[in-house]
Structure 1
Amino acid sequence: MTAVLQQVATDGWTRARDGVVRLFRRRRSGAPDSVASELESARAALAEARRRNDDATADRLIAEWSDRLLRDVLTDPAAEPELRALLEELAPGSVTFNGDVSARSAIQAGEIGTLNQHLHFHTATAEPPLTTAAAHRLPAEVPPFVNRDEQRTQLLRAVDERGEAPLVSPLTVVLSGVAGIGKTALAVRFAWELAPRFPAGTFYVDLDQWRTDRSIDVEAVLRHQLRRLGVAEDWLRAEYPALVELYGEKTRGARMALVLDNVWSADEITTLLPASADALVLVTGQRRLPLLEARGAIGLALGPLSPAHSAAMLRKIVTGATGASDAATPTDPADGQPRESPETVDALARLCEGFPAALRAAGTLLHLHRHRGIERLVADLTAQLHERGLPVVEAVWNASYGELPAPAARLYRLLPGHPGYDITVEAAAALLGTGRYEAEDAVEALLGAGLLAVSPAAPVLRGRTRFRLHGLLRSHAVRCADRHGDGAETEEALRRLLVWYRRQAERADRAVQTDRLRLADPVPELPYAPDLAFADEAGARAWLDTERKALYAWVRIAADLGEDTHAWALCEPLWKHYEDHGNHDDAIRAFTPGRDAAERAERPDALIRLRCQLAQALWRAGRAPEADSETERAVRAAASAVPGTRLHASALEFRGKFLAWRGEPDRAVTYFRQSRDIHGALPVPNTYGVLLQGFLLGRALRSAGRPAEAEDELDTALALARASHHLRMTARCLAELGRVHRALGRTGRAVTALTEAAEVEGRRGAGYDEARLHGELAELAGANGDALAAERHRARARELREGAGAAPESS
């Protein structure tokens, strides 16, 4: 409401007022005229209070209207998406909740005070890194929670006894059990309850977010965790061994808790365990992990809830949904609804067989249909259980699906085709193909029916709420699609979503880097789904990384659909993401079908480009023979199909880089020189291409033991970099010249060049590169017996590491 009333002195007042009136009218919280009149009065009173500098009155007015709005939402949780949309409309990106707490979870807590504590307004930014140790990145609990007292007692005893033993590894607890038994809920509850004991932070990672083709991208998870631990983005470019070392340094001795959800094997998480005996790791999975238990982990197997606890949970769900106390019966006579007998509730609980997922689904269904009574639901579920042999949770979800409006039911059937971890309203609109408003209504209906949830990994990213269809529901949605959908419906939706993702990826890629070699014509604006807003480069990068699982998968899906142009074109915006993150396996899985699609589409230029990009992923993944073949074929094809062009020069560059990587710098020299000459001979010479190839040529010559020749090439490249005011290439050329001078025995000139390179990196804010250069200078000073200079450079490197959050916590 602050966002509304703060429009007092702006042109946005009418829009703000009308939005609130519309919200209250839809929720039957007052006549439109009276609400509008009251808002106008509140606006006038607030303006007068501010004119008199009467902060107390201003705060009271805002608090009164905030409470009114929040009470409206609390009496109808389905209003939360509309409230969020209204606030986003008034102040885009300004709504967030403490940590990862979502509005929906706070609303379901059933207390205005709770929601007031969580709701804040702020300037829209990307998710900030941790700047202090005390931060909790956990999903919100989804109430109610009952029993599990035995496991809780075991865990608390283990935590209490932990301090008495001089151990070096974290306390690890493995919660195992079948899907839907409540493992994640228990782990999250434990983490929240114990959070005050872990001042270094509590964190949640769902490995399913990072799983592709049954394997985990551990390197990507490490970067994700290091980012949360406060490490600056610049320092996350390091190779995998350096990231492992940095993670160990950041977590050494840290009192932190980590929830690792959906773990399949011990090998998946070994690298992710904090290097601290004072840490707690809660692992969930469907199977026990004997290897972890053999190393001292505690195994806690979860079974179904008892009948008494099942009934208690069901009562809490139903009474919580209607706002009654735990002692109340499932329905309230004041609401004109009959009370149900405890026996009826017990009968429904028994049908759910102790599975929290089934109990939650049944409770949600009761809340949606308060007037039908539990007896009818019990009778319907019993019939499905006995006549069709369906598990109760399946029967409940079937009933919930059957009550959905047609667009929501169609979205539910289509969601399993989405290849990502979670989804936004904009992507849902592309699936449906009917515009944003219908997608919003469909998402809201699925949330209200309990068939969709706010994403636990990133509930709100840069002002956009993300939603997730978890594993059991995804399987149910597939079965609904088999029964009620048709192949044509699914394929059309996939094609729409494919094109939408390609368009957003192209737009994000151009926001990251405007001028680079691209071959595909960009996708025009689409009439059936809105574009995302990329306010800046950081926002574009964040979206590309958040959607990485979907984006890389879309290349294969496009090829399977016969959309070869989309398949190879999607690889273009993925290239920069791959260069920044080094996710070699993802790139190979995408660039291989992309290469084949370009060949089928008879696009020799795209085929050359994809061969080069695939080759780089291959050699960095250690698959040198395949990379050798790809680069050689790319160079031959470019010389034949596009000789003397920028693409020909690019193919030569990739071939040279591969040979240099393989330890053949003498052979690489030839390719870099040819590439540079082509860039210089273009009708409009490519200055940056000449500069880059000159640098690569000089570096290869130094590696080949030809420093004198390298000096000539690097001097020329440095002059071009200075003339172009290209700070990054200026620093790179200076650094390489410093190494050449050192190889030639010119220590003084080496120090001068490396020092200037470090200064340039500092000016452009490249702390990681500057620190590496100070490391070189320290080594050089030490080799020359200058201990004071060596320590000075080491101190500067430490200062840069600390400023970037990349130093050990103990320092």
Structure 2
Amino acid sequence: MGMALSAVGTVVSGALSGAGGEAGRRTSERLYDLLSRGRRAGADAEANSGPGEGGSRHPTLPVTEDAQTAAARQLLELARSSPEFAREVTEWVREASWLSPRTVPAVAHAASRPQMLPPATPVFTDRAEVLAWLRGLLDEEGRTPGAPAIAVLTGPGGIGKTAAVVRCAFELMDRFPDGVLFADLAGASDGTALRPSDVLARFLERLGVPAAMVPGDEARQRDLYLDCTAGRRMIVVLDNARGDAQVIPLLPASPECLVLVTSRYRQGLLVSRHGARPHALGPLSTEDAVTLIRRVAGSGRPAAPDAVVQAVAQGTGGIPLALCTTGAGLAVREHLTWERVARQLSDRSHGHDLGGALMGEPAPDASADPVRAVQDVSYGQLAPDCAAFYRAIAVWPWPTVTVLCAAQAAGVSEDEARALLERLARVHLLEEVGEERYRFHDLTRAHAHGLAEAEDGHGRMAAAVRRVAVAHLRFAAGLDFRVMPLRWRLGPAYQALTVPEHRDPEDGKRALADLRAERENLAAVIRAAAHHGFDDLVWQLCEAMWGLHLLLGFHAQWIDTHLLGVEAARRGAEEFGDPRAVGRMWTQLAFAHMGAGQVTEAADALTQARAADRACGHHRGEATAVEALGLLRLRQWEFGAAQRCFEEAQEILRRIGPGEDGAEDVPRATALLAHHIGRAQTKRGDFAAAIARLNDALARFRRLPGGGDAYNAGRVYMSLGDAHLDAGDAEQARVCLDEAVKAMTEAGAGLQLADAVEARARCHRRSDRPAEETEDLRTAAVSYEEHGNHIGLARVRARLAELAA
């Protein structure tokens, strides 16, 4: 019962979210078939069953816990009814188990042992008491059984919390052989703080879960994360936490783990409910402060009296961020003397304005804010072009500052931006965190942002954000077009884009990887554009992230950004924007809700989409919304309702005349709908009509301009294989799957080719041809391995082992 219930839950979840792709869809529909046959058998056994009960023979997707329990019981009853059913149910449970994201035990050869820890600073000084405290915590007798050790390092910004936990994690790594997870939770403000769902998705992938198998909702992500961390000895570093709600979902399951949390705020629930131990980090002693600043400044400078160096160190308040910034300035400016820096800090601490920062306002007390004092001194030493650049790149809290972002924000060339970024990094006003990728400490960004407000004003800051948004829209649209070149779009950014005649089959994969690398920055650009009221750019940026989200998920971010997209499109439509964008945003948001398993929200969004498109006469958009509702109904096993949606979408497309909006896309859209209708008819048991409709779809795809659509023709052949197999004709199914294999080979669709070959292997199994089945499974295994689909590979290898036994 437990195995059957788990299998039902896995398949239902995947059916709603689309996880598992074609294999997940096929397994869901097989469950429908099994439950339908069980109901028919039960109805036949009841001689007194009235005609009014016929509708009960068609099961609905068991979404609730009670419905899933009932479905699992029906499977067991079906298995007991005959040896044939027992074999089919057993095979289905095994097949379903492969759809569940699989955790790799830490002791396994293929186990993922992530090493996400950023590099430790080479000038790290002291903090020996922190390491000693952590060692004592780990070795303490009477620790809470069954729970990881949790240490919370608190202190003000710039005090060195991150450097301390990174250094301690390196020192303790030999005790935790299963790896280190690290996340900057960006908790300086509510607006920048990461959601646990985004961090969980990142952690799960580093723990070996394929991106396509990461669940869409946080609760299931959390469950999988607990499975992945159970039994492991790991360090989990959660840096810059805003509050308990960010941290608690990220706690691992294993009592052999160490969790290191840094925060400016007390984490009450972590301490009271999860046994966390707090430790407050204070400033460095004068002796250690002198050691640190000498290390940063380097040995190449003329010697300075100890008293002068001590004065500089004391002027920084012993705060490591201030010490490193001051030392870096001394290191790169050979004419800057220790005495001058000491004098500047002294002047700053006594309220003497250095001409740099506050538009004639009295300077704050440096003893109360030594970091600000040091930043003002460093800023005053920048050349005018570098000072303007420093202000410009801080107009919004970008997760990272890239060359593209910096160049557009400052209105300079990319070569100039590279040089200026390096100059700021050398004086410790920026940190380089990757190749041509930089990050502010949040206190430094706040300083630069305040200067931008005072010296540049809202108008220039808004103009900088708009330039960044336009550039990122151009960047994202170009990549999204390469990921999915055939879908229709509204945004003007796509108008000049074309598909190369001889396109590398791997080009789309590379484009998707580039989009993924900028995912967090793109989301930040959407938020910045929304904040400044650039509605035309907000919805277009959302549209440009369609391929990224559809293929890779990240549903929490998808929903957040597209809610902004909906509102932006609405405001634009009320003025002089494109009214078609409203329906487009609602439809994309609906797919985000589907991916997160939020069926009601998805259906509501599609209702809004259809109403918006109908109101502005956008037939292409309305047809898409109705088609999407049909796809949702397919996932819910409401095959009759799905077919009606697809047929209605076809009727809407017929309203589009030659030369009208969307006319060019009508032939392909009509072919897709014919394919959908054939799939719905197959599941309704109307095999003759389904096969006729699928052959019509096939002919339509072959007639498309440019030599036809080989990829979608291959998908139709696969659906024809399913239809013939459901109708009991395994031989004709094999013939169709032969054609699917040819089409996917022609299209260069490696994973879909593997799926087609694996489907053909099932036909061989039905026809009792083990040699042919083995050959196809080996071919599928090679393709799955080449494309990194570890779940498909494991599933195929398991079947090969059965055949060899």
Are 1:594 and 2:577 an aligned pair?
no
Equivalent position of 2:592 in the other structure: 617
1:170/1:274 contact within 8 Å kept: yes
Are 1:171 and 2:149 an aligned pair?
yes
Equivalent position of 2:288 in the other structure: 312
Equivalent position of 1:189 in the other structure: 167
Residue ranges of structure 2 left out of the alignment (5+ in a row): 1-108, 352-362, 497-504, 659-663, 799-805
Instruction: Report the Cα distance in structure 2 between the residues aligned to 1:239 and 1:392, rounded to whole angstroms.
Output: 43
Q: 1:475 to 1:654 in 2, by over 3 A?
A: same
Q: 1:153 to 1:640 in 2, by over 3 A?
A: closer
Q: 1:408 to 1:221 in 2, by over 3 A?
A: same
Q: Find 2:441's aligned residue among 470, 476, 480.
A: 470
Q: 1:256 to 1:757 in 2, by over 3 A?
A: farther
Q: Find 1:352's aligned residue among 306, 316, 341.
A: 316
Q: How does 1:241-260 map to 2 (within 5 A)?
A: 243-244=221-222, 246-260=224-238
Instruction: Report the Cα distance in structure 2 between the residues aligned to 1:750 and 1:152, rounded to whole angstroms.
Output: 69
Q: 1:553 to 1:440 in 2, by over 3 A?
A: closer
Instruction: Report the Cα distance in structure 1 between the residues aligned to 2:729 and 2:138, rounded to whole angstroms.
Output: 56
Q: Find 1:406's aligned residue among 368, 374, 384.
A: 384
Using the TM superposition, give the Cα deviation of residue 287 of structure 1 relative to its aligned residue in structure 2, in angstroms: 2.4
What SS does the aligned partner of 1:669 have? helix
Equivalent position of 1:671 in the other structure: 645
Task: Judge which range, 504-513 or 222-231, deviates more.
Answer: 222-231
Q: Find 2:412's aligned residue among 416, 419, 434.
A: 434
Equivalent position of 2:372 in the other structure: 394
Equivalent position of 2:452 in the other structure: 481
Instruction: Report the Cα distance in structure 2 between the residues aligned to 1:305 and 1:442, rounded to whole angstroms.
Output: 31
Q: How many residue pairs are counted as aligned between the two chains?
A: 640
Equivalent position of 1:579 in the other structure: 550
Q: 1:568 to 1:176 in 2, by over 3 A?
A: same
Task: Judge which range, 705-714 or 426-435, deviates more.
Answer: 705-714
1:697/1:713 contact within 8 Å kept: yes
2:244/2:270 contact within 8 Å kept: yes
Q: Deviations over 1:741-791 (max 9, x none)?
A: 55x7x496899699989979999443899599889979x99xx9x9xx99x
Amino acid corresponding to residue 517 of structure 1 in structure 2:
W
Q: Deviations over 1:472-521 (max 9, x none)?
A: 11111122123322233222222222211111111111222222212222
Using the TM superposition, give the Cα deviation of residue 626 of structure 1 relative to its aligned residue in structure 2, in angstroms: 6.3
Using the TM superposition, give the Cα deviation of residue 667 of structure 1 relative to its aligned residue in structure 2, in angstroms: 3.5
Q: Find 1:155's aligned residue among 121, 126, 134.
A: 134
Equivalent position of 1:605 in the other structure: 580
What SS does the aligned partner of 1:766 have? helix
Instruction: Report the Cα distance in structure 1 between the residues aligned to 2:211 and 2:138, rounded to whole angstroms.
Output: 34
Instruction: Report the Cα distance in structure 1 between the residues aligned to 2:477 and 2:673, rounded to whole angstroms.
Output: 27
Are 1:766 and 2:751 an aligned pair?
yes
Equivalent position of 1:39 in the other structure: none
Give the percent of matched residue pairs that are identical in Structure 1 and Structure 2: 28
Instruction: Report the Cα distance in structure 1 between the residues aligned to 2:762 and 2:271, rounded to whole angstroms.
Output: 47
Q: Deviations over 1:782-805 (max 9, x none)?
A: xx9x9xx99x999x9999699745
1:210/1:220 contact within 8 Å kept: no
TM-score (structure 1 length as normaliser): 0.67
Instruction: Report the Cα distance in structure 1 between the residues aligned to 2:741 and 2:187, rounded to whole angstroms.
Output: 40
What SS does the aligned partner of 2:493 have? coil
Using the TM superposition, give the Cα deviation of residue 468 of structure 1 relative to its aligned residue in structure 2, in angstroms: 0.6
Q: Find 2:630's aligned residue among 652, 656, 669.
A: 656
Instruction: Report the Cα distance in structure 1 between the residues aligned to 2:149 and 2:736, rounded to whole angstroms.
Output: 46
Instruction: Report the Cα distance in structure 2 between the residues aligned to 1:154 and 1:147, rounded to whole angstroms.
Output: 13
Using the TM superposition, give the Cα deviation of residue 234 of structure 1 relative to its aligned residue in structure 2, in angstroms: 4.6
1:418/1:550 contact within 8 Å kept: no
What SS does the aligned partner of 1:383 have? helix
Q: How does 1:126-141 map to 2 (within 5 A)?
A: 133=112, 136-141=115-120
Equivalent position of 2:677 in the other structure: 697
Using the TM superposition, give the Cα deviation of residue 720 of structure 1 relative to its aligned residue in structure 2, in angstroms: 6.1
Q: How does 1:228-239 map to 2 (within 5 A)?
A: 228-236=206-214
Are 1:513 and 2:484 an aligned pair?
yes
Q: 1:420 to 1:142 in 2, by over 3 A?
A: same
Are 1:491 and 2:462 an aligned pair?
yes
1:718/1:734 contact within 8 Å kept: no
Amino acid corresponding to residue 470 of structure 1 in structure 2:
H
2:401/2:438 contact within 8 Å kept: yes
Amino acid corresponding to residue 766 of structure 1 in structure 2:
L
2:113/2:207 contact within 8 Å kept: no
TM-score (structure 2 length as normaliser): 0.68
Q: 1:170 to 1:704 in 2, by over 3 A?
A: farther
Instruction: Report the Cα distance in structure 2 between the residues aligned to 1:275 and 1:755, rounded to whole angstroms.
Output: 44
Using the TM superposition, give the Cα deviation of residue 430 of structure 1 relative to its aligned residue in structure 2, in angstroms: 0.9
Equivalent position of 2:10 in the other structure: none
Instruction: Report the Cα distance in structure 1 between the residues aligned to 2:311 and 2:187, rounded to whole angstroms.
Output: 37
1:605/1:647 contact within 8 Å kept: yes
Instruction: Report the Cα distance in structure 1 between the residues aligned to 2:243 and 2:426, rounded to whole angstroms.
Output: 35
Using the TM superposition, give the Cα deviation of residue 189 of structure 1 relative to its aligned residue in structure 2, in angstroms: 0.6
1:176/1:300 contact within 8 Å kept: yes
Equivalent position of 2:121 in the other structure: 142
What SS does the aligned partner of 2:342 have? helix
What SS does the aligned partner of 1:522 have? helix
Using the TM superposition, give the Cα deviation of residue 562 of structure 1 relative to its aligned residue in structure 2, in angstroms: 4.7
Instruction: Report the Cα distance in structure 2 between the residues aligned to 1:275 and 1:777, rounded to whole angstroms.
Output: 39
1:414/1:431 contact within 8 Å kept: yes
Using the TM superposition, give the Cα deviation of residue 453 of structure 1 relative to its aligned residue in structure 2, in angstroms: 0.9
Q: 1:691 to 1:198 in 2, by over 3 A?
A: farther
RMSD: 4.6
Instruction: Report the Cα distance in structure 1 between the residues aligned to 2:151 and 2:732, rounded to whole angstroms.
Output: 53
1:407/1:438 contact within 8 Å kept: no
Equivalent position of 2:344 in the other structure: 380
